[in-house]
Structure 1
Amino acid sequence: MKIRTKLTLIYTVISTAILLAFSIVIYYSAHKSRESEFFTALEQEAITKANLFFIAKVDTTTLQTIYRSNIEVINEVEVAIYDAGFNLLYHDAEDIDHVQETPEMIDEIIDNGEIRFYQDDWQAIGLRYKYNGIAYAITATAYDRYGYSKLFDLRNTMLTVLIMAMAVIYLAGLYFSKKAFDPVKAMIRKAESITASNLDLRLPSTGNHDELSQMADTFNKMLNRLEDSFNSQKEFVSNISHELRTPLAAMTTELDLAIQKERTTAEYQKIIKNVLFDSRRLAALSNNLLDLAKAGYDPQEISFKVIRMDEVLLDAMQTVMKHRPGYAVNLHFEDSEENDEAAGVFGNEYLLKTAFIKIMENGCKFSPDNRCETFIHQSPETITITIKDNGIGIPDDELPEIFKPFFRGSNRSYTEGNGIGLPLAQKIVSLHKGSISVSSQTGKGTTFVVSIPVI
């Protein structure tokens, strides 16, 4: 069932229930009002006939004749008068006698002064009447044909109005739900037209700051992220294709030349060295891509534990100097006091080590002396690692771009690289809820500052 239909039905049921409740209250009030008014009319009729009998001394035959004449056209009241000894003094129609009085009833009337009751659909009342100091019991009963007819008409009218109201409410609900869901339909049609080839399309927003507008804005923000992700993916594929094509083309060319004719041992060794160089470039690129992908995982899927940053940095420094014999990294502890609990963070040791290896290698390879200095400082909230070099530096206009994958600046001719190391380091630092910043002066060197929260 569609939400529009469901809301219409709920709206109709609730509205009908409210109307039905009001109708029941109105009908009950009318019923009680009719009952009370008719009991009052019975009381007045009983007292009037008692006055005619006791005070006006109207004879019994005349009163009975009036009663029998009136019952043919109006709701005439049947009245009976008893004394305290249950002796009948007067009765409008003793042969009819709807009340069926008993001695107990007469005693109750004289003791209590008044009783009200029903005989089937006939209302009856008993009154104590005093004349010349003597108490008498008067009963009066009648069928309120006119009152019941009005109640019957009221009930039928309310049922008819209720049924008509249900139909009107349902149709009104359909109309207003359609108007309310028109923006949703427009969003659905627009969303169905959005594909990978036209991610620039956006859902229409009313700008009214209502829930539909908020949903459209949220969806559009998601589309912005998807578009950025698709564009980044396209750029990534384009860049990685270029990075892979260059060494593969070089290797293919070297091998083609090698098999074209017989060559000397020295020439073969040179070709093998060139191919080996390109294959190592491919291996390094593959490793960097794997690390980059690992750094992009969901943090919940990466194993984190408490680690010491000083040990991570020492391990990274030794790895750099082992794999790059010409590189030199010096590590400085700025905290004067030794503390076994110092430099503790909650993170992944392999990833953090990879990040600092990339930054250290970057500093060394762009420095004439292949050297960089690393400083570690701990505050109550963060651990700050500063890595400085005295290399060629980075131009100011290129600083905002260095953390983009595959970006190679104007210094690309200085040494080989593939533009993955620094973006990888930034992803890893962000994964650990840290921050990384860079400052540089052309010809004087570059400084990277990494801050990671302590546990």
Structure 2
Amino acid sequence: MKITFKLTILFTFITAEILFLFAFIIFQYAKNDREAEFYDRIKIKAYVKGELFFDAKASATTLQDIHMNNLKVMNEAEIAIYDADFNLLFHDNQASDRIKETPEMLTKILKKGELQSYIGEWQMIGVTYHFGSKKYIITSIAYDHYGYNKIDDMYTHMVYAYIFSIVVICLSGLFFARKAFEPVKAMTRKVNKITASKFNVRLEVKSSKDELSALANTFNEMLDRLENSFETQKSFVSNISHELRTPLSAIIAELELSLSKSHKKKGYREAIQNTLLDAQRLVRLSSSLLDLAKASYDPSEISFKEIRIDEILLDARQMEQKLNAKHKIDIHFDVDFENDQEMLISGNEYLLKVAFANIFNNGCKYSFDKRCSVNVSFENSKIILIFSNKGIGINPDELDSIFKPFFRGENKQIAHGNGIGLSLTQKIIVLHKGNISVTSQKNKETSFTVMLPLASF
């Protein structure tokens, strides 16, 4: 069921309940008002009959004739008068005697002064009447034809009005629900136009700050992120294809050259050695891509534990020097740490080794003496690592781009690389809630500053 119909049904149901409650209260009020008004009327008639009987000394026959004549044209009360000893003094129509007064009833009237009750649908009232020094009891009973007819008519009209109102409310609710959801339908039509090849479509955002505008803004922001992700993915695939094609082409060329004609032993060794270097480049590229994928995972999917920063640095140095024996790496601690807690960070051991090894590799490759050093210090509950090397430096125009995947600067002619290392390093540092920055002076010094939070804070 569509939301518009659900809202219409809910709106109609709630409004119908409120309308029913309102109608019920009005109807009950009208019933009670009719009852109270009719009691007052027959009470007045009882007093009037008492005055005629006692004060005016009207005969019983005259009063009975008046009663019978009035019955032909209007609702006339049937009245009886008793003395304090329950002796009947007068009765309008003793043959019918609708009340059939009992001593118990008359006793209650004397004690309370007034008694109201129903006999079937007839309303009866009993009152005490004082004449001279004596007390009398007058009972009066009548049927409210006019009042009941008005109540019945009112009930019929209210039922028809209620049904008509429900129909109007239902149609109005459906109209307004559709009107309210028209912007949502417009959004749906716009979203249906979005495809993988047409990702530049955006929802229209109105100036009003309502929920739909907030939804449109949020959806547009999501589309921006997805579009950037798609573009990054396209660029990623394109760069990977390029990086893989270069060593593969070189391997194929070497092998084809080896097969094209006979070579001496030395020539074959050179071909095998060149092929091996290209294969190693492929392995390093594959490893970097795998590490980049790991660093892009959700943090909740990566295991973190408390590890010592000095041990990670030593392992990263060993990892780098195992691959490149000529690289020299120095580790300095600016202060003596008082306890092990000051050396602990919460992180993933493998990823941090990869990140630091990448910085070591980058520093040694582009330094004049193949040397990179790192200074370790502590400040404001953070570990600060400054990796520096004296070398060719980085062009100032390229500083904002060196952390982009597959970016290679003008120094790419000096040392081989695939443009993944620094991008991977930044992802790993951010994954550990840290940050990395770089400063460089052309042909002087380059420094990478890494800040990581301590595990105890």
**TM-score range relative to shorter protein:** over 0.9
Displacement, 1:441? 1.0
The one-letter code of the counterpart of 2:52 is L
Equivalent position SS for 1:226: helix
Displacement, 1:127? 0.6
Displacement, 1:338? 4.3
1:358 equivalent in alignment to 2:365: no
Equivalent position SS for 2:400: helix
Equivalent position SS for 2:285: helix
1:339-354 mapped onto 2 (5 Å cutoff): 339-354=339-354
The answer to whether the Cα contact below 8 Å between 1:380 and 1:454 also exists between their aligned partners in 2 is no
1:336 equivalent in alignment to 2:333: no
Displacement, 1:337? 4.3
Match in the other structure for 2:58 = 58
The one-letter code of the counterpart of 1:148 is Y
Displacement, 1:86? 1.7
1:225-264 CA-partner distances (Å, limit 9, x unpaired): 0000000000000001000001101110111111111111
Match in the other structure for 1:49 = 49
Displacement, 1:111? 2.0
Moved more, 218-227 or 203-212: 203-212
1:67-86 CA-partner distances (Å, limit 9, x unpaired): 11111221101100011222
The one-letter code of the counterpart of 1:61 is T
The answer to whether the Cα contact below 8 Å between 1:84 and 1:107 also exists between their aligned partners in 2 is no
1:13-162 mapped onto 2 (5 Å cutoff): 13-162=13-162
Displacement, 1:336? 2.9
Equivalent position SS for 1:80: strand
Displacement, 1:46? 0.3
1:172-206 CA-partner distances (Å, limit 9, x unpaired): 10111111000000111111111111111112223
TM-score (norm 1): 0.99
Match in the other structure for 2:178 = 178
Equivalent position SS for 2:284: helix
Rate the CA distance shift 1:273–1:184 in 2: closer, same or farther, 3 A.
same
Match in the other structure for 2:313 = 313
Following the alignment from structure 2 to structure 1, what is the Cα–Cα distance between the partners of residues 380 and 158?
77
Displacement, 1:318? 2.0
1:183-198 mapped onto 2 (5 Å cutoff): 183-198=183-198
Following the alignment from structure 1 to structure 2, what is the Cα–Cα distance between the partners of residues 42 and 392?
117
1:330-409 mapped onto 2 (5 Å cutoff): 330-409=330-409
The answer to whether the Cα contact below 8 Å between 1:76 and 1:142 also exists between their aligned partners in 2 is yes
Equivalent position SS for 1:85: coil
The answer to whether the Cα contact below 8 Å between 1:122 and 1:143 also exists between their aligned partners in 2 is yes
Following the alignment from structure 2 to structure 1, what is the Cα–Cα distance between the partners of residues 454 and 340?
14
1:303 equivalent in alignment to 2:300: no
Equivalent position SS for 1:342: helix
The answer to whether the Cα contact below 8 Å between 2:81 and 2:90 also exists between their aligned partners in 1 is yes
1:199-210 mapped onto 2 (5 Å cutoff): 199-210=199-210
Q: Structure 1, unaligned stretches of length 5 or more? A: none
The one-letter code of the counterpart of 1:92 is D
Following the alignment from structure 1 to structure 2, what is the Cα–Cα distance between the partners of residues 358 and 453?
20
Match in the other structure for 1:163 = 163
Following the alignment from structure 2 to structure 1, what is the Cα–Cα distance between the partners of residues 70 and 408?
116
1:401-455 CA-partner distances (Å, limit 9, x unpaired): 0011100001110110000000000000011011000011111121000001111
The one-letter code of the counterpart of 2:165 is A
Following the alignment from structure 2 to structure 1, what is the Cα–Cα distance between the partners of residues 52 and 339?
118
The one-letter code of the counterpart of 1:225 is R
Match in the other structure for 2:416 = 416
Equivalent position SS for 1:196: coil
Equivalent position SS for 1:400: coil
Displacement, 1:343? 1.4
Following the alignment from structure 1 to structure 2, what is the Cα–Cα distance between the partners of residues 124 and 362?
109
The answer to whether the Cα contact below 8 Å between 1:352 and 1:428 also exists between their aligned partners in 2 is yes
The answer to whether the Cα contact below 8 Å between 2:331 and 2:374 also exists between their aligned partners in 1 is yes
The one-letter code of the counterpart of 1:43 is K
Following the alignment from structure 1 to structure 2, what is the Cα–Cα distance between the partners of residues 337 and 421?
30
Following the alignment from structure 1 to structure 2, what is the Cα–Cα distance between the partners of residues 63 and 338?
120
Following the alignment from structure 1 to structure 2, what is the Cα–Cα distance between the partners of residues 164 and 111?
51
Match in the other structure for 1:259 = 259
Following the alignment from structure 1 to structure 2, what is the Cα–Cα distance between the partners of residues 290 and 103?
107
Displacement, 1:285? 0.4
Displacement, 1:373? 1.1
Displacement, 1:216? 1.1
Equivalent position SS for 2:335: coil
1:440 equivalent in alignment to 2:440: yes
Following the alignment from structure 2 to structure 1, what is the Cα–Cα distance between the partners of residues 342 and 35?
91
1:335-361 CA-partner distances (Å, limit 9, x unpaired): 134422221111000100100000010
Match in the other structure for 1:427 = 427
Displacement, 1:380? 4.1
Moved more, 225-234 or 26-35: 26-35
Identity of aligned residues (%): 50
TM-score (norm 2): 0.98
1:145-186 CA-partner distances (Å, limit 9, x unpaired): 111111111111111111111011111101111110000001
The answer to whether the Cα contact below 8 Å between 1:436 and 1:448 also exists between their aligned partners in 2 is yes
Displacement, 1:379? 2.5
The one-letter code of the counterpart of 1:316 is A
1:28-87 CA-partner distances (Å, limit 9, x unpaired): 111111111111111110000111011101111111111111112211011000112221
The answer to whether the Cα contact below 8 Å between 1:393 and 1:445 also exists between their aligned partners in 2 is yes
The one-letter code of the counterpart of 1:129 is Y
Match in the other structure for 1:230 = 230
The answer to whether the Cα contact below 8 Å between 2:437 and 2:449 also exists between their aligned partners in 1 is yes
Equivalent position SS for 2:223: helix
Following the alignment from structure 2 to structure 1, what is the Cα–Cα distance between the partners of residues 322 and 6?
70
* Structure 1 stretches of at least 4 aligned residues deviating more than 2 Å after TM superposition: 204-207, 336-342
Displacement, 1:98? 1.0
Following the alignment from structure 2 to structure 1, what is the Cα–Cα distance between the partners of residues 274 and 340?
49
1:286 equivalent in alignment to 2:286: yes
Following the alignment from structure 2 to structure 1, what is the Cα–Cα distance between the partners of residues 130 and 10?
62
Following the alignment from structure 1 to structure 2, what is the Cα–Cα distance between the partners of residues 207 and 7?
26
